[in-house]
Amino acid sequence: MGGSGSGSWYRWNSRDTVEECRSIDIREWKRKGLLTPGSRITTTWTSWNGDKNSIGAWVEDQRVVLHYRQRRSGEGEWQNVETPIHLDWTDCHLGGKRVWFLCPGCKRRVAKLLQRGEFRCRHCHNLAYESTREHLASRLTTKAQNIRRQLGGSASLMEPFPERPKGMWQRKYDVLRQQAEICESSGMMEMSKRLGMNVGS
């Protein structure tokens, strides 16, 4: 239930971020001279628990083939995975060529692919940038403050929620209060995610 913008809109905007995912960057590979057909590439990183992980790639003429191990949902047996990623080149304004991954999901030209199970672009994984999380938290807080002012109360989120103004329908008041509460709690969650904090339920 609830008014417009009280539920699904927040879930859409509260998506994970690019920075939280493992990634491979074709620009880095090119800069290091690793894209010669026949080359083998190994990219390593350290997980949150300190484990060392790696992903390999074979370079072919028009594509790279990723090879790595993964477990579905973090459970079960480890499986070997091979994923071909086709490449594309575009002309640069000052001469030369720029190389791109062609996302296996949507076929967009992208410089970076991110892993959430499979390697895809941020659009396919519905990922935002970390900077948008801060902007979202600010927008949510501002909306909650505006509702409080609309009801004749203080904009401070530390003060009790304003009472229903005289003459306002109860149903309208309930909708506004629900929207404000969602914005306040969602804004706190977004800010805590950005700061790497845990918020109790």
Same domain, 111 and 159: no
- Last residue in a domain, options 93, 120, 147: 120
- Tell me how far apart the alpha carbons of residues 55 and 75 are, in angstroms, rounded to a whole number: 19
- Last residue in a domain, options 62, 89, 120: 120
- Last residue in a domain, options 120, 148, 181: 120
Same domain, 85 and 37: yes
Same domain, 51 and 72: yes
Q: Give pLDDT tens digits for 150-173.
A: 999 988 888 899 999 999 999 999
- Tell me how far apart the alpha carbons of residues 98 and 109 are, in angstroms, rounded to a whole number: 11
Same domain, 23 and 112: yes
Residues facing 80 on adjacent strands:
69
Please give the chain's pLDDT, 201 residues, in tens: 333 333 333 333 445 665 567 788 999 999 999 999 999 998 887 654 556 678 899 999 999 999 988 766 556 677 888 999 999 999 988 888 899 999 999 999 999 898 877 888 888 877 766 555 556 677 788 888 899 989 999 888 888 999 999 999 999 999 999 999 988 888 777 777 666 654 444
Alpha-carbon dihedral of residues 192, 194, 195, 198, nearest 10 degrees?
Answer: 40
Q: Confirm whether 53 is domain-assigned.
A: yes
- Tell me how far apart the alpha carbons of residues 10 and 3 are, in angstroms, rounded to a whole number: 12
Q: 170-195 and 130-150 helices cross at what angle (nearest 10)?
A: 150
User: What are the Cα distances from residue 5, in Å, to 13, 159, 179?
Assistant: 11, 24, 8
Tokens of 173: 């008041």
Q: Confirm whether 1 is domain-assigned.
A: no
Domain extent, residue 185, equals 8-14+128-190
Number of domains the chain contains: 2
Same domain, 34 and 104: yes
Q: Confirm whether 196 is domain-assigned.
A: no
- Tell me how far apart the alpha carbons of residues 130 and 132 are, in angstroms, rounded to a whole number: 5
Q: Confirm whether 174 is domain-assigned.
A: yes
Q: Confirm whether 201 is domain-assigned.
A: no
Phi, psi of 54 (to 5 degrees): -150, 160
Same domain, 66 and 155: no
